[in-house]
């Protein structure tokens, strides 16, 4: 007798999701609690576990369909399967636009019964594979259960794997192809297009950012900070810190603790507007932007004001790992009173970040670079970083925004302040 697979409870106020990926095809052997599908909600991707061991039955919905909590999306049959996909899988998967690349060759192999574990691709990874024309079976996956991530594909392309795969697929690889000279004809003949449906996460991000622009009176103020003291402190204590706490001492710990001090001095930056009222928080829940395979997510460091440096660094490290593995939960990203976004890790020199409603402010960090500055009447070279604070001017005055950034600057340039609460 078949057992129904239903959409699980997704979290508070979340009633529907999008089927992002089938991890098991009809006919595949399935173990109890083994992930069989991936759902995309407004904030995270969630895996649907098999309710019992058996054989993957019929897919009731296709990739890209919207499903509600409690809806039946598949069945699990009793018995043991072949471990490979059957022709039923073709009936529900959306038709892809023609692309004569190694990626389509690999997917064709999947339909012919080759092991799916080496070529199961998330929508984001699949787009990269098709774009660069790489053979996913030749890439070592670093994700959960050996799955490919965007970083895996990008690294493979970076070291030249894409070129080799394309040439191998065409059967024209020669020594002269190592450094080909593009011609107008070759460039003009490769002008394909692909329409890809926005993920639910990307749709939500787009909608919320536009709402922030339409609702809040956004303004950004800037300052710069001399990172000399923090860099010297990290260099002096990083080995002892790692040995004692089992985690690296990063920059985010300093900025998180500096933000806690500044938010205490300027409470409006940690507040939010609710109708005709202002809600002030006596705690600091910092949302930190981290990269995930499907986009940027913002898990929350709760009660950061009561945390040690080690607690902050451990929490951020755990968020980064789980974001890459796709195991962050709705609870991880609920709430937040203030956001820190570090565009410097991608090389950004300066930006105007957008607030994350209903929060009223976001601190943007940027890359550190040596610049000539004047110190005590002399021109010296110092490692400098630009800071940006975007804020809702309906709630936060310019004086308060500038004061907040000055407090951050003072704490970073003199980390002793973080210890004695100045």
Nearest to 18 by CA among 126, 117, 94: 94
Q: Which helix (H) or strand (E) holds 214?
A: helix 200-215
Q: Which helix (H) or strand (E) holds 223?
A: strand 218-226
Is 397 part of the annotated catalytic residue set? yes
Nearest to 356 by CA among 367, 364, 368: 364
The sign of the torsion formed by the CA atoms of 119, 123, 125, 130 equals positive
- Cis before residue 111, ω within 30 degrees of 0? no
Using an 8 Å Cβ cutoff, are 85 and 112 in contact?
no
Active-site hit among 33, 96, 145, 393 = 393
Q: Is 346 strand, coil or helix? A: helix
Q: Is 109 strand, coil or helix? A: helix
**Around 278, how many Cα atoms within 13 Å sit in the side-chain half-sphere?**
11
Q: What are phi and psi of 378, to 5 degrees?
A: -120, 145
Active-site hit among 33, 177, 265, 397 = 397
Is 393 part of the annotated catalytic residue set? yes
Among all residues, which ones are annotated catalytic? Answer: 393, 397
């Amino acid at each position: 007798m078949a057992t129904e697979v239903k959409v699980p409870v997704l979290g508070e106020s979340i009633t529907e999701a999008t089927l992002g990926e089938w991890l098991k095809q009809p006919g595949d052997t399935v173990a109890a609690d083994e992930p069989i599908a991936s759902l995309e909600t407004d904030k995270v991707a969630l895996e649907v576990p098999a309710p019992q061991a058996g054989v993957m039955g019929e897919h009731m919905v296709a990739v890209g369909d919207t499903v509600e909590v409690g809806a039946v999306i598949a069945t699990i049959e009793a018995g043991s399967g072949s471990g490979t996909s059957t022709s039923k899988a073709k009936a529900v998967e959306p038709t892809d636009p023609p692309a004569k690349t190694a990626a389509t060759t690999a997917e064709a192999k999947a339909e012919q019964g080759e092991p799916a574990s080496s070529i199961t691709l998330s929508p984001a990874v699949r787009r990269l594979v098709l774009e660069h024309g790489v053979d996913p079976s030749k890439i070592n996956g670093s994700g959960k259960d050996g799955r490919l991530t965007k970083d895996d594909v990008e690294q493979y392309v970076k070291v030249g794997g894409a070129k080799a795969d394309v040439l191998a697929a065409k059967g024209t690889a020669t020594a002269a192809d190592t450094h080909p000279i593009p011609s107008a004809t070759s460039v003009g003949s490769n002008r394909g297009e692909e329409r890809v449906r926005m993920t639910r996460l990307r749709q939500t991000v787009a909608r919320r950012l536009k709402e922030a622009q339409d609702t809040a009176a956004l303004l950004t103020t800037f300052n710069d900070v001399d990172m000399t003291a923090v860099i010297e402190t990290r260099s002096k204590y990083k080995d002892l810190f790692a040995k004692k706490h089992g985690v690296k001492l990063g920059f985010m710990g300093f900025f998180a603790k500096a933000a806690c001090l500044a938010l205490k001095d300027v409470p409006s930056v940690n507040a939010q507007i609710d109708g005709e009222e202002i809600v002030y928080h006596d705690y600091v829940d910092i949302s930190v932007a981290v990269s995930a395979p499907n986009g940027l997510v913002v898990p929350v460091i709760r009660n950061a004001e009561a945390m040690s440096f080690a607690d902050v660094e451990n929490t951020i490290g755990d968020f980064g790992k789980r974001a890459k593995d796709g195991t962050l939960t709705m609870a991880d990203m609920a709430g937040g009173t203030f956001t820190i976004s570090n565009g410097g890790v991608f090389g950004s020199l300066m930006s105007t970040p957008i607030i994350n409603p209903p929060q009223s402010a976001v601190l943007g960090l940027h890359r550190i670079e040596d610049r000539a500055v004047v110190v005590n009447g002399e021109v010296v070279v110092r490692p400098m970083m630009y800071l940006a604070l975007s804020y809702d001017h309906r709630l936060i005055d310019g004086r308060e925004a500038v004061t907040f950034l000055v407090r951050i600057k003072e704490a970073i340039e003199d980390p002793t302040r973080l210890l004695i609460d100045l």
